[in-house]
Structure 1
Amino acid sequence: MSAARMLTGDRPTGRLHLGHYVGSIANRVRLHKRYESFFIIADLHMLTTRNTREDISRITDNAREMVLDVLAAGVEPDQATFYLQSAVPEVGDLFTLLQNLVTVPRLERVPSLKEMARAAGKEEMPYGLLGYPVLQAADILCVRAGVVPVGKDNAAHVEVTREIARRFNHLYGDVFPVPELIQAETPALVGTDGRAKMSKSLGNAIDLADEPAVVRRKVLGMYTDPNRIRADVPGRVDGNPVFVYHDVFNPDRAEVAELADRYRAGRIGDVEVKERLAVAVNHFLDPIRERRARFAAERGLVDRLIVEGTERTRDEVRQTVTEVRRAMGLTGAYQRIRRRAERARRVTDPA
């Protein structure tokens, strides 16, 4: 087992976007060469909020697009293990063994679960969604990851994992590393509608794979200062989504400062500020698009990465589950019963 492993990933519900990049992908790119890196395609987690046959039928295409997005963002294919969660059934075994190490009230205090339920239009929380952090703990601990880069909305989930790892080690012996949480320094990126964080399901996202014309159209449609009805009216910069994006994606700090000063003074229109932002975002996305096109042109690459990564991960998880069962004494219990059965058979059937 490697002493330094990282696990991270996403649900295959659609293409990745700028919010994903700011929230965790930038850290994945920065860290993936430092650690032995596992990237989960979390289709079982997807079922907590999207579980129709139509949703499930999209997993294959969405998984492939998601891997391409991660590679395009800067992760090198020979330094990452991608795997499909549902194709590693032993993760479910570990989930079962861990779920009694955390209480319902503790899970009910995880703030993002209620937000996820509301976003999915669910009036009541499904049992699977309540257990989302425990399944996530199984994902992290099954490969014994020591580092987990996540966005702020998943930080509380990883803290549950840390608690479960410590509880297991206390009860049964040191099996799991207590993973380190690495959060993005940038706050969650607001969506183009200015009402909520960027999300695939809300249709307020700029995808990493969007073409330049699509990016420009989305930027020009962005929410700004609702009280600014004309270009000569002084505008609000703080909290204005357009300027939030400028701060994150426009490296020309002098230009950003000049735009902000003119905006506050009522000497520039929203359209010009947005046009400058569209240029900056497209400049940021250009190398990502180029890498995506290159990897997409390598016939069979993405499918091979998923298949080989899934097989390798399953081997690792089998070893972990075997060790967990041994530490808990479950393997010994069965072996003792089996030996008793064999002795009884020899007595009753000596031939």
Structure 2
Amino acid sequence: MSKKRVLTGVTTTGIPHLGNYVGAIRPAIAASKAPATESFLFLADYHGIIKCHDPAMIHESTQAVAATWLACGLDPERTTFYRQSDIPEIMELNWILTCITAKGLMNRAHAYKAAVQDNLDKGQEDQDHGVEMGLYSYPILMTADILMFQANEVPVGRDQIQHVEMARDIAGRFNHRFQELFTLPEVKIDENVELLVGLDGRKMSKSYGNTIPLFEGEKKLQKSVNKIVTNLKEPGEPKGTDESPLFEIYKAFSTPQETAAFAQALAEGLAWGEAKKMLGAKINAELAEPRERFNELTANPAQIEAILQAGAQKARQEARLLLDAVRDAVGVRALK
């Protein structure tokens, strides 16, 4: 029985926080260990430069993201772990697919439509003002990422479903026009994915400024936890689980039994300060070992680079075979 291929990309435009860990990193690493799954995980640095024009941030984020996944238990022997920019075959495939993609399909891309609408709302005469080709055509690059390794499933959030659908459309057009070479990917939506709340109760997001850094030291971690919004109820007063984001964050790091006991303690008047100490200790217990590994990796970037290069070599062996078939199908071949 052939293994199911699952492909995930991580954009290198920021430093991972606790919400990224709970919502994406932890479940993806767990899924990669399934015997019937073949996982491909890549650092999407070319996607990163679409929106981030700070070279230092792209570089810093690439190192931090790679170190985070490795520190949290990603096994590069079981997973094909690579940096997008190390696979030139992806960029060549991107161009070939660009040549057969309808402009109308790109016109319907959510990010492009949002940019156009923003210009219209601001009264801009040119509806494409400020729109660069990276933003406009990045669904094609995402399609190349997916099709290059014949992914069966692509785990995405609901806001990304359109991109996988576009990949299916483009793959189908190529298969019909030239030769049936590409697997049509399926969207994988995890209905049970945990969207961790932030310090203020909204979704934990860098744009909201409500995140808890993933690998802060124990003391700094506790300081971040202490900033979680609570009400003014005194110690001894009953507290509900919906009265502070604290409970939902605790739940993400606890067993059902521990969560129930914590809820009971709140109902019996546990002080918010004590509750925050309990949460800090719970998070630290899970992340202390990965934090140590993260610090070791970031102190030795050459070790990270060696792992990425090994992953790229593994990925390119396969990418080259498919790209050769694609080139031949479109007529780009040696003269005989």
Deviation at 1:144, TM superposition (A): 1.7
CA displacement, residues 236-277 of structure 1 (integer Å, 9 cap, x when unaligned): 644842222122223212223214535xxxx44433332322
* Partner residue, 1:92: 91
Name the SS for the 1:191 alignment partner.
coil
Partner Cα distance (2:240, 2:187) in 1: 35
TM-score (norm 2): 0.79
* Partner residue, 2:308: 306
Q: 1:239 to 1:123 in 2, by over 3 A?
A: farther
Counterpart pick for 1:161 among 164, 167, 176: 167
- Structure of larger gyration radius: 1
Deviation at 1:201, TM superposition (A): 5.1
Number of matched pairs: 318
Counterpart pick for 2:139 among 129, 133, 138: 133
Partner Cα distance (1:60, 1:158) in 2: 27
* Partner residue, 2:63: 64
8 Å CA contact retained: 2:18, 2:214 = yes
Q: Pairwise CA RMSD of aligned residues?
A: 3.4
- Letter of the structure 1 residue corresponding to residue 49 of structure 2: L
Asked if residue 9 in structure 1 is aligned to residue 9 in structure 2, the reply is: yes
Partner Cα distance (2:272, 2:107) in 1: 44
Name the SS for the 1:206 alignment partner.
coil
Partner Cα distance (2:174, 2:243) in 1: 43
Percent of paired sites with the same residue: 33
Deviation at 1:21, TM superposition (A): 2.1
State which drifts further: 4-13 or 122-131: 122-131
Partner Cα distance (1:288, 1:301) in 2: 16
- Letter of the structure 2 residue corresponding to residue 283 of structure 1: A
Deviation at 1:50, TM superposition (A): 0.4
CA displacement, residues 146-180 of structure 1 (integer Å, 9 cap, x when unaligned): 23233444344333323333333333332122223
* Partner residue, 1:243: 247
8 Å CA contact retained: 2:233, 2:239 = no
* Partner residue, 1:77: 76
8 Å CA contact retained: 1:16, 1:208 = yes
- Letter of the structure 1 residue corresponding to residue 19 of structure 2: G
Structure 1: gaps (5+ residues): 340-351
State which drifts further: 198-207 or 230-239: 230-239
Structure 2: gaps (5+ residues): 119-127
* Partner residue, 2:267: 261
Partner Cα distance (1:113, 1:186) in 2: 27
Partner Cα distance (1:112, 1:278) in 2: 41
State which drifts further: 293-302 or 146-155: 293-302
* Partner residue, 1:188: 195
Q: 1:208 to 1:140 in 2, by over 3 A?
A: same
TM-score (norm 1): 0.76
Partner Cα distance (1:280, 1:157) in 2: 37
Partner Cα distance (1:112, 1:247) in 2: 37
Deviation at 1:107, TM superposition (A): 5.7
Partner Cα distance (1:83, 1:283) in 2: 29
Deviation at 1:43, TM superposition (A): 0.9
Q: 1:87 to 1:276 in 2, by over 3 A?
A: same
8 Å CA contact retained: 1:23, 1:150 = no
* Partner residue, 2:323: 321
* Partner residue, 1:37: 39
* Partner residue, 1:342: none
Partner Cα distance (1:41, 1:248) in 2: 26
